[in-house]
């Protein structure tokens, strides 16, 4: 099947439009097994296109043991619950036909404990895959000392974990089975697993292998089941580049790079940047328009250097500031000044066009409607701010219908999308929702689409206005100072044209002064019924207005 690709101009518009993060398992089920899949997503592309989405980010879709699939066992395949490579090809083509880019979550800081590389690496210290991972008894670790590898972001079980029966996640029966497997490299340098020719021969060495396994101690930041890869090993770098190239050849438009700041241990910023530059150059060989966005959960001053090699990084700092401002009726001018400060930090590192990846929440955070305690007015306000700022705003699936979800349980922030009030065909049922239920005040999409004032239609209106305006897509932000804390006033400027935008995040009506050049209201929370009188306008609480120039 030939892959339809978007032009460079189409890609640029998509990268300033609106992104949409999807956990496939919870989205839409095409075969009745209760688990979302790629064909189910294909069936809902018209919904996403109608909403105005220009880029889809798929959370991990590769074979894995956990429900979340950040423990990849095979980078070259699709999880069987989700479909096949052929299903994925169809999905890419249908996305591109609708002018939608699709990027994959590339989880390359670590692999699954059950990845063939790790299964080989743990056998003995001379195995050819041993250096793919970080081992406590390695010469380098011994030279640097264990303290050099410490990080405040480690998992509750610690950083160093023993391979063998003493490990709580170790499956004795699984080991017996996997110890009979060897890993070969085929003519295309792809890793394949094949059963050993002689069962008896393997059995005879099992005891010696077990003895060696019990002395193995490996490094894992996030979870004992997810051992970290060793990027000081050139072969690891080559493997990940090969994996990236393969998916780009299949038609993928780019990658969300999981845990992008953790790749070198001990942490080394220059090495990280050097690696991502190498990876980018390798990807550009396949797709000159490839889009790379990094998850670097940190302050902007520490995030900025990654823009030397990546197109975008998620703006966690702005998300926190924006949500806090709306939640606590904070100082809007201060919030916008923070945004300008962040962008200025970025510009020090990147002189090309900056695509700021802005968002309200993602799969690792409490859902925004839960943060706002089911306050629809505040959720609409947050959406209006997000969708009128420069960059590429991301929506976490279901955010547009007000789905709920809270810590500490990850899966309950990734509950099934609520399509209708009844268990209709396509509804995913793999998880009984704890938060996103009608009894908790959640309104299904089917019902919201019929209500012009619903949250989803609020999103839809703003997304379409954004995507139809070059000024809102590409324009820079210019702050308009005000002493009224609850008013967020700014202009967007592009090609000598501008748009005026005002948000009132407070409860009370505020009178605002409109610069003379602005007269055409193109969006108002109150359905364009507002009038500009002698350069003045009354803006109701929790409402927004967008005004075009003459």
Catalytic residues: 258, 295
Q: Token pair of 435, please?
A: 């938060």
Residue with tokens 């996103």: 436
DSSP 463: H
DSSP 475: P
CB proximity list for 70: less than 8 A, separation 6 or greater:
60, 64, 105, 107, 222, 226, 258
Residue 23 sits at the vertex; the CA angle it makes with 19 and 29, to the nearest 5 degrees, is: 115
d(CA 387, CA 269): 32
Could you count the other beta carbons within 10 Å of the beta carbon of residue 503?
24
What's the helix, strand, coil split of the chain in %, to 5?
35, 20, 45
At 180, is the secondary structure helix, strand, or coil? Answer: coil
d(CA 494, CA 497): 5
Sign of CA dihedral 54, 25, 63, 105: positive
Looking only at the bridges linking them, the beta strands covering 392-396 and 19-22 are parallel
Backbone φ, ψ for residue 310 (5° rounding): -110, 155
CB proximity list for 212: less than 8 A, separation 6 or greater:
123, 124, 125
d(CA 178, CA 210): 12
d(CA 436, CA 409): 14
191 contacts 132 by C-beta, under 8 angstroms: no
d(CA 148, CA 210): 30
Residue ranges of E strands in 357-462: 357-359, 392-396
Residues 98/103/104/108 CA torsion (nearest 10 deg)? 170
Residue with tokens 């709306």: 326
At 176, is the secondary structure helix, strand, or coil? Answer: helix
Residue 356 sits at the vertex; the CA angle it makes with 299 and 271, to the nearest 5 degrees, is: 55
């Amino acid at each position: 099947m030939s892959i339809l690709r978007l032009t460079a101009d189409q890609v640029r518009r998509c990268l300033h439009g609106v992104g949409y993060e999807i956990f496939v398992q919870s989205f839409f089920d095409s075969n009745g097994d209760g688990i979302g899949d790629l064909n189910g997503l294909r069936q809902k592309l018209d919904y996403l296109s109608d909403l105005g989405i220009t880029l889809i980010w798929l959370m991990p879709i590769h074979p894995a043991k956990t429900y979340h699939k950040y423990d990849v066992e095979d980078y070259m395949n699709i999880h069987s619950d989700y479909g096949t490579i052929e299903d994925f090809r169809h999905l890419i083509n249908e996305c591109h036909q609708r002018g939608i880019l699709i990027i994959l979550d590339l989880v390359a800081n670590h692999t699954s404990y059950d990845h063939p590389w790790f299964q080989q690496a743990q056998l003995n210290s001379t195995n050819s895959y041993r250096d793919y991972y970080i081992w406590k008894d390695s010469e380098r670790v011994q030279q640097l000392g264990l303290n050099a590898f410490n990080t405040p972001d480690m998992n509750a079980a610690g950083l160093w974990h023993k391979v063998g029966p003493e490990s709580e996640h170790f499956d004795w029966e699984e080991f017996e089975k996997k110890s009979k497997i060897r890993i070969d490299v085929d003519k295309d340098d792809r890793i394949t697993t094949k059963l050993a020719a002689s069962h008896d021969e393997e059995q005879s060495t099992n005891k010696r292998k077990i003895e060696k396994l019990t002395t193995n101690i490996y490094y894992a930041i996030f979870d004992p089941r997810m051992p970290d890869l060793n990027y000081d090993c050139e072969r690891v770098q080559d493997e990940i580049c090969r994996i990236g190239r393969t998916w780009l050849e299949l038609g993928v438009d780019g990658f969300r790079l999981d845990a992008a700041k953790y790749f070198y241990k001990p942490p080394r910023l220059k090495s990280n940047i050097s690696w991502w530059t190498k990876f980018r150059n390798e990807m550009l060989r396949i797709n000159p328009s490839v889009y790379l966005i990094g998850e670097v959960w940190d302050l902007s001053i520490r995030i900025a250097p990654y823009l030397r090699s990546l197109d975008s990084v998620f703006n966690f700092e702005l998300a926190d500031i924006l949500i806090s401002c709306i939640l606590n009726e904070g100082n809007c001018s201060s919030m916008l000044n923070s945004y300008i400060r962040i962008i200025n930090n970025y510009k020090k590192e990147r002189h090309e066009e900056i695509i700021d990846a802005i968002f309200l929440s993602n799969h690792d955070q409490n859902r925004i409607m839960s943060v706002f305690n089911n306050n629809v007015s505040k959720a609409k306000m947050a959406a209006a701010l997000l969708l009128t700022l420069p960059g590429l705003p991301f929506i976490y699936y279901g955010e547009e219908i007000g789905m709920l979800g809270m810590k500490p349980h990850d899966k309950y922030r990734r509950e099934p999308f609520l399509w209708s009030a009844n268990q209709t065909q396509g509804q995913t049922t793999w998880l009984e929702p704890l938060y996103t239920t009608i009894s908790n005040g959640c309104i299904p999409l089917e019902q919201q689409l019929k209500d012009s004032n619903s949250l989803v239609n609020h999103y839809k209106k703003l997304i379409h206005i954004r995507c139809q305006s070059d000024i809102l897509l590409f324009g820079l932000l210019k702050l308009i100072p005000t002493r009224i804390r609850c008013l967020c006033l700014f202009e967007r400027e592009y090609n000598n044209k501008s748009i005026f935008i005002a948000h009132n995040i407070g409860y009370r009506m505020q009178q605002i002064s409109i610069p003379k050049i602005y007269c055409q209201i193109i969006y108002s929370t109150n359905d364009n019924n507002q009038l500009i009188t002698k350069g003045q306008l009354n803006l109701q609480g929790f409402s927004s207005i967008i005004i075009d120039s003459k």
